[in-house]
Amino acid sequence: MYGAALQHIKPGDWLTLLLSSLFVVALTLTLWSGDLADKAIIRSGGKIFREVPLSPDQQIEVPGPLGISIISIQQRKARIASDPSPRQYCVRQGWLQQAGEIALCLPNQVSVELAGSKKKYDSLNY
């Protein structure tokens, strides 16, 4: 049965199949490879509190108007481990790994943003 199906594929069709597969793989690799982050930019009240590299695992305590937010960095990922803000959106956001990802805690005004080698736009107006 498979043999019967295969006899309909001509040599050029194999070439098409091969090239198309390569094309799809290339597309996937280019479009799905997010820029890995190098450092975390921690802000408090809109000002940069600290910029830390992602390599040594550590916990950082950031003071805000409501209290202290704890940012933890582990295995080249970052997250907000605890925060006094009522809704806990930033804590629930979990681990950030790719450049451009941001967790923002309101109303404690603490944020952590991951940055890679090149800065990407997060919004454009024209």
Partner 1 sequence: MTASIIKLSTTAEDHHIARMAAVALGLTILENAIPSPLPGVKPGLANIVTLIVLARYGWRTAAWVSLLRVVAGSLLFGNFLTPGFFLSLSGAVLSLIVLAFARHLPARWFGPVSHSIYAAFAHITGQMLVVYLWLIPHAGIAYLIPIFATAALVFGAVNGLIAARFMDDKTIYPQITQIHTD
Nearer to partner 1, 84 or 100 (CB): 100
Interface residues for partner 1 in 11-40 (CB under 8 A)?
11-13, 15-17, 20-21, 23-24, 27-28, 31-32
CA distance 48 to 42: 6
Minimum CB separation from partner 1 for residue 54, in Å? 23
Neighbouring-strand partners of residue 43: 48, 111
CB atoms within 10 A of CB 98: 14
- Find the angle CA(36)-CA(87)-CA(69) to the nearest 5 degrees: 60
Kind plus residue range of the DSSP H or E element containing 87: none
Per-residue contact flags (x/-) with partner 1 for residues 43 to 82, judged by CB under 8 A:
----------------------------------------
Positions that interact with partner 1 (CB under 8 A): 4-5, 8-13, 15-17, 20-21, 23-24, 27-28, 31-32
